[in-house]
Amino acid sequence: MNTEEKIFNAARTVFQKKGFAGARMQEIADEAGINKAMLHYCFKNKQLLFEAVFMNAFSQLAPQINAIFNSNETVFEKITQFTHSYISFVILNPFLPPFVIQEMNNNPEFVKSFFKNKNTPNPSQLIDQIKKEIDQGIIKPIDPQQLLLDIFAMTVFPFAAHMLVKGILHINDIEFNKMMEERKTIIAEQIINSIKK
Amino acid sequence: MNTEEKIFNAARTVFQKKGFAGARMQEIADEAGINKAMLHYCFKNKQLLFEAVFMNAFSQLAPQINAIFNSNETVFEKITQFTHSYISFVILNPFLPPFVIQEMNNNPEFVKSFFKNKNTPNPSQLIDQIKKEIDQGIIKPIDPQQLLLDIFAMTVFPFAAHMLVKGILHINDIEFNKMMEERKTIIAEQIINSIKK
DNA sequence: TTTTGGTTTAACCATTTGGTTAACAAAGGT
DNA sequence: ACCTTTGTTAACCAAATGGTTAAACCAAAA
C-alpha cells in the first residue's frame, strides 16, 4: 500500500468517525503512520482530502444502486434486490450512511454542485416503471416518489440513526446486527405487501 | 428575552446548523448579540452549553412521543397519531432530527449516560401492546421491534436525510414540504395496510 | 559516481479557538 | 451613602490547528 492509499484510508476512517469539522489533520496523519506534511503534499488541503473521501464513499453506493434501479426486473424484484444488497453492503460499511447524510446536511452548497456534476443515484427510470405497473394494475395507485422514499427510509434509516435506534430499542450491537440481517428479507416483503393489488 | 435565553437560542441555531465540532463560540456570541465571555459566565463551557441545547431538543420530542405510545388507543390509532403529530412537529423544527442523530452518532459515550439518566422515548409498553394485538389476530405476526423501526424510519428519515433526499429525487424545498404534508396521512395507511390481517 | 527527481520529515508559522481575567456598570439591600 | 452581588465587556492567553518550508533521504538516471 503506497503512501497516498495509506492517507486515503486513514482519512476515510477519521472523517467517517468525526465528520469534516471534527476531524484533525494530525489524527489522520497518525492513523496513516506518516508525517502530517505528507497530507498536504498528496492532497493539497483538508477540503480536497475530504472531498476525495466523500466522492469515493458515494461512488461506492451510486453504481450499485443504479444497476438495480435500471435493470430489466419487475418493481417487486427490484425492491427485493435493492434492500437485500444495500443492507448487505452497509453492514460491512456501517459508517457510510451517517457520514454521507451528515456531511450532505452540513454542506448544502457542496451538495448542489455535487449532484450536478457527479454520477449519483438516479431513480427516474424506476419511477417511470412504477407508474407503468400502476397503470397495468400490478401496483396500487401511489406516488412513486413516496414509494422510493419509503424504500430508502426503511433501508437506510436504521444505519443512519444507528445510536438513536440502539438507545430507544435498548439493544446492543449484536442484537442490532441480528435485526439488520432479518431486515434484509423483512423489509421487501413488508413494502411489496403494502403496495401489491 | 434575558441574556441566558438569547445565548440559548443562538446556541441552538448554531449547533443545529454546524454540529458540535463545527460550531464556534464566537459565532454563537455574535448570533446572540453579546460578548463571548457571557457564554462562559452563563454556561461554563462549550460542552455544557451544547448539552443544554441537546437535552432541550430531545426533551421536546420525548414526552410527545411517549404520550402517544402509552395512551389507551389501538396500535393502528397510535401509528396514525404518531406519524401525523411527529411530522407536523418536525416540519416546524426541521433541524432537530439531523442534529439529534448526528450528535448521537458522534458522541457514543455521552449517549450511553444520556439514555440511562434522562426521560427518553420508551416504546416498551407499545411493544407489549403490539404482541397482544398479534395474539388477538388483529395484526399479522411480525417482530414488534422491526415494526417500531419501520415507523420511525418512514417518519424520521426524510428529515434526517433532508439534503440527500432532495438531491436524489431532484426536488426543491417547496416540493419537499408538499411531500411531507402528504406523508402525514400516507405513511400510516401504508404501514397499517401492510400489517393488518 | 554523481546528479536528479520525487518523497518524507522535523521544525516552524499564522491564525483560530475555547477559555480567563480584570475592570466596570447596574441593581439591591443595609 | 456604601457595600455586595450580579451582569457585561474588552483585552488577553495558552493550546490547538491547518498549513508551510527547508532540509534530508533515496532510488534511479546519466
Q: Are A91 and A74 in contact (CB under 8 A)?
A: no
* 3-state secondary structure (DSSP) of residue B196: strand
* 3-state secondary structure (DSSP) of residue B33: coil
Question: Of A79, A81, A82, A89, whose CA–CA distance to A190 is shortest?
Answer: A79
Number of alpha carbons in the 13 Å side-chain half-sphere of residue B161: 28
Is A98 part of the contact surface with chain B (CB cutoff 8 Å)? yes
pLDDT score, position B103: 93
Q: Integer distance in angstroms from CA B49 to C1' D5?
A: 24
Confidence of residue A108 (pLDDT cuts 50, 70, 90): confident
Tell me which DSSP letter residue A95 carries. T
Checking if the pLDDT of A150 tops 90, the result is yes
* Percentage of chain A lying above the pLDDT 90 cut: 84
pLDDT score, position A116: 84
Checking if the pLDDT of B123 tops 90, the result is yes
Dihedral sign computed on CA atoms, order B1, B7, B12, B18? positive
Nearest-angstrom CA–CA distance, B12 and B95: 10
- Dump pLDDT digits (tens) for B81-97: 999 999 999 999 999 99
Nearest to A165 among B98, B149, B169 (CB): B149
- Dump pLDDT digits (tens) for A64-74: 899 999 999 99
- Dump pLDDT digits (tens) for A18-61: 999 999 999 999 999 999 999 999 999 999 999 999 999 888 88
Tell me which DSSP letter residue B90 carries. H
Does any strand D atom come closer than 7 Å to the Cβ of A36? yes
Site from B125, B152, B157 to mutate, A interface, most A CB atoms within 10 angstroms? B157
- For A18-40, the DSSP string reads HHHHH--HHHHHHHHTS-HHHHH
pLDDT score, position B44: 96
Confidence of residue B146 (pLDDT cuts 50, 70, 90): very high
Checking if the pLDDT of B114 tops 80, the result is yes
Confidence of residue A112 (pLDDT cuts 50, 70, 90): confident
CA distances from A150 to A140, A195, B27 (A): 15, 11, 37
pLDDT score, position B60: 84
Query: So where are chain A's domains?
Result: 1-44, 61-195
pLDDT score, position B99: 94
Q: What is the mean pLDDT of chain B?
A: 94
Angle, CA A20 vertex, CA B10 and CA B7 arms, to 5°: 10
- Dump pLDDT digits (tens) for A162-184: 999 999 999 999 999 999 999 99
pLDDT score, position B107: 87
Q: Are A190 and B192 in contact (CB under 8 A)?
A: no
Is A186 part of the contact surface with chain B (CB cutoff 8 Å)? yes
Average pLDDT of span A183-187: 96
Average pLDDT of span B114-136: 92
pLDDT score, position A56: 92
Confidence of residue A197 (pLDDT cuts 50, 70, 90): confident
Q: What is the mean pLDDT of chain A?
A: 94
Q: Protein footprint on strand D: which nucleotides are under 7 Å from a CB?
A: 7-11, 16-22
Confidence of residue B108 (pLDDT cuts 50, 70, 90): confident
Residue A179 to residue B149, Cβ atoms within 8 A = yes
Nearest to B115 among A101, A124, A167 (CB): A167
Orientation angle between helical segments A96-106 and B3-22, nearest 10 degrees: 130
Nearest to A194 among B98, B179, B193 (CB): B193
Nearest-angstrom CA–CA distance, A46 and B19: 18
Is A109 part of the contact surface with chain B (CB cutoff 8 Å)? no
Is B113 part of the contact surface with chain A (CB cutoff 8 Å)? no
pLDDT score, position B117: 75
Number of alpha carbons in the 13 Å side-chain half-sphere of residue B48: 7
CA distances from B172 to A106, B114, B165, B169 (A): 17, 36, 10, 9
Confidence of residue A153 (pLDDT cuts 50, 70, 90): very high
- Dump pLDDT digits (tens) for B147-179: 999 999 999 999 999 999 999 999 999 999 999
Tell the residue number behind the cell numbers 506534511, with chain if given: A37
Checking if the pLDDT of A114 tops 90, the result is no
pLDDT score, position A27: 98
pLDDT score, position A42: 97
- Dump pLDDT digits (tens) for A79-99: 999 999 999 999 999 999 999
Report the predicted TM-score, pTM, of the whole model to 2 decimal places. 0.93
First to last CA, chain B: 54
Question: Of B184, B178, B63, B68, whose CA–CA distance to B119 is shortest?
Answer: B63
Question: Of B166, B52, B154, whose CA–CA distance to A101 is shortest?
Answer: B166
Checking if the pLDDT of B46 tops 80, the result is yes
pLDDT score, position B197: 82
How remote is the C-alpha of A136 from its chain's centroid?
32
* Cβ under 8 Å to B: A residues 136-165: 142-143, 145-146, 148-150, 152-154, 156-158, 160-165
